[in-house]
Amino acid sequence: MNRTSIVGLLAFAAMTTVALVGAISASAAKFTASAVGASISETTLENYAFTITGSSIQCTTNTVTGTTEGLETTTVKGVLSFSGCTAFGLPATVINNNCEFTASASGEGSMVGEKCEISVTASNIFGKCKGNAKPQTKTNAGSIANGEGDVKVTASLSGIAAEVTESTGVCPLTVGKHTNATLTGKSTVQASGATIAWDA
């Protein structure tokens, strides 16, 4: 089988992974780092699952490009790319086109960028699915906890918007806009040669 329009979820996976978003409520919340300019990276603890209208995509690896921007900041920014993605057991291609993911320490996350779009394609001889997600913002994206010099992020997003642009053959998704996408997964986010933490 084949299906792939869960792009919106991927966008927010990125956001959650890179940005350290959590269900945070304190107005003075911030991120702290022991050094400025340290490269941010991510280790996936539980594969991210992106589900839309009952269909899901999973990616085993998320690669982060970004750096710590200050010793104390209210946001974390980064660019995420995905690999090892499958849709119903079939290889899927997920591409980040000009999107940067930003998360605030207070719990809001956004995907922004001029002509920003996350696209997903999966196909075989029996059908094809294509989809995308455009810039959007979400709150209460999951939970966050401090580790030993790093941050543990658990994603739990819902109501993500994505659009299916092509559906043929065995693709289980209908063409059109979907607003019921969800994302779950867990990661450790760390900074090379430095420590990072979330301060509520």
Where along the chain do its domains lie?
Answer: 7-199
pLDDT of residue 145: 78
Name the burial class of residue 63, with classes exposed (0-12), middle (13-18) and buried (19+) by CB atoms within 10 angstroms of its CB: middle
Q: What is the DSSP letter of 174?
A: P
* 27-66 per-position pLDDT tens digit: 478 889 999 999 988 888 887 788 888 788 888 777 878 8
pLDDT mean across residues, the chain: 77
Secondary structure (3-state) at 18 = helix
d(CA 62, CA 82): 5
pLDDT beneath 50: ranges in the chain? 1-27
Task: Give the pLDDT confidence score for residue 139 in this predicted structure.
Answer: 67
Whether pTM exceeds 0.85: no
pLDDT of res. 88: 62
Looking at the chain, which runs of residues are DSSP E strands? 30-33, 40-52, 55-65, 72-73, 75-87, 90-97, 100-104, 108-112, 117-124, 127-133, 136-139, 142-146, 151-169, 176-191, 196-199
pLDDT for the residue numbered 20: 40
**pLDDT 10s digits, 154-164:** 777 788 888 99
